[in-house]
Structure formats: structure tokens, C-alpha cells
Amino acid sequence: GAGVSQSPSNKVTEKGKDVELRCDPISGHTALYWYRQSLGQGLEFLIYFQGNSAPDKSGLPSDRFSAERTGGSVSTLTIQRTQQEDSAVYLCASSLAGLEGETQYFGPGTRLLVL
Amino acid sequence: AQSVTQPDIHITVSEGASLELRCNYSYGATPYLFWYVQSPGQGLQLLLKYFSGDTLVQGIKGFEAEFKRSQSSFNLRKPSVHWSDAAEYFCAVGDNFGNEKLTFGTGTRLTIIP
């Protein structure tokens, strides 16, 4: 079946602009995660959605970052007033029920470059 | 807070040789441990994971890993590498107190030479 998909695959933007990154999880998966992969910081957790529960936003680096998940499926990560240090690959993952130790399936990522 | 250390940034191995990638973790209880592989331009693919029970875990593509509590390690091994194994490998630990996020190591880049 279809895996996790993300769009766009690449995004180049100017400093100060807002960007939206999209994630389509695997159908039927109730848990969705955003991670960021950058040269200086490695792979970092950003935010986690599980069903209708309040999201775990503990990994968001600043209030310029926000995410929402509509209808328990598609998620959008928004970065406002982008900065050069936001340049990274943003990875989305989903899992069936968000249970402890459950396998997370990753999408191919969105490569963001802020000029 | 949990953490993962992958001490080797880059490893080069000859095709057909054996491989061991090191991973050490810091966690107060029995952790959930994972190895993921990332090929160029690709997302992360799960190789194997450890929850409990048998400390030797078999994964896909001929990989295995052994959990050693006394050494806080979860090293990845393969008896004979193939050129297609060239990729970046990430070890990760999962929280088992209801927080399912993964904490990743910094990764080990594997190069295979003929």
C-alpha cells in the first residue's frame, strides 16, 4: 500500500517568508510525527499528534513553528518568518496507534532551503 | 532525558566483509531500541527493533542487533555487506512512559569499497 507522502519534496524560500509543508500519513494510522534533520542538530523530534488528543509540541524550536492535523489525517507544518537556520530536511512519520515502541514509518522528507 | 550515542561518524568496509555499527544509549528503564537506515534521498526505513525478551534481534536485509544492558549498547551487525548497504544508519531510543517520540543518534555513514 501507499506509504507516507510529503510535499513539496524541495522548497526554496527567502528569509522572512512563511512556508507550509504537507504530510499525508499511511491510511488508518492515527499517530503522526514531525522530525527535522539538519547538519548541525541531527534528527530532532518536533511534534506528535495522536487521534483527537492535544498534540505534544515539546520539540518545536520556537513559536514560529506550528502544525495542525485536519480530520485526523493530513498534517501541515507551518514555519513563519523563516530564518536561514530553518534550512533542513523535514521528515514526517506515522504509526498505527501511537503505542509505545510501535514502528514509525517515515516519508521521504521535504528539503527546505532558506536563502 | 534519554540520549543515544553513535561514536562512529563514518565507516568504510570492503564488500563481503563483516560490519558492526556501535550504538550506546542512556535511559533509566528498559528502553525500546531501533535501527533505521537512510539511503541517499530516501526516508528512514526500519531495520529492526528491540522491546524485551531475546536480546538478539533479527531484522531485514540480513542485519541483526544485540541488546546488552550491562554495556548500555545496541550494536548493529551484518556478517557480509553488499554494495547496496551503503547508506546512513541511525540508532534510536523510544520512551516507554507514554511518550512515543524517538530520540536519534547522530548517525553513521557507511561506505562500501569493492
Residue range B29-46, pLDDT digits in tens: 778 899 999 998 778 999
pLDDT given for residue B7 in this prediction: 95
Mean pLDDT of all residues in B100-107 = 88
For the residues of chain B, what is the DSSP string, one character each? --EEE---SEEEEETTS-EEE--EEE-SSPPEEEEEEE-TT--EEEEEEE-SS-SEEE-GGG-EEEEEGGGTEEEEEESS--GGG-EEEEEEEE-SSS---EEE---EEEEEE-
**Low pLDDT (below 50) residues in chain A:** none
**Contacts with A40 (C-beta within 8 Å, 6 or more apart), sequence order:** none
User: Between B3 and A99, whose confidence is greater?
Assistant: B3
CA dihedral in degrees (B37, B43, B45, B46; nearest 10)? 90
- The reply to whether residue B102 touches residue A45, judged by beta carbons under 8 angstroms, is yes
Q: Which of A59, A103, A108 sits opposite B101 (nearest CB)?
A: A59
Contact of A5 with chain B, judged by CB distance below 8 Å, is answered with: no
pLDDT given for residue A1 in this prediction: 58
Contact of A98 with chain B, judged by CB distance below 8 Å, is answered with: yes
Nine-digit cell string for B91: 540508532
Residue whose C-alpha is closest to residue A76's, from A1, A2, A18, A115 = A18
**How many residues are listed for chain B in this entry?**
114
Instruction: Name the residue with cell 540480513.
Output: B62
Contact of B31 with chain A, judged by CB distance below 8 Å, is answered with: no
Residue whose C-alpha is closest to residue A104's, from B79, B36, B31 = B36
- Cα–Cα distance between A72 and A68 in angstroms, integer? 10
Encode A13-24: b = buried (16+ Cβ within 10 Å), e = exposed.
Answer: beeeeebebebb
Residue range B32-82, pLDDT digits in tens: 899 999 998 778 999 999 988 888 999 999 999 999 999 999 999 999 999
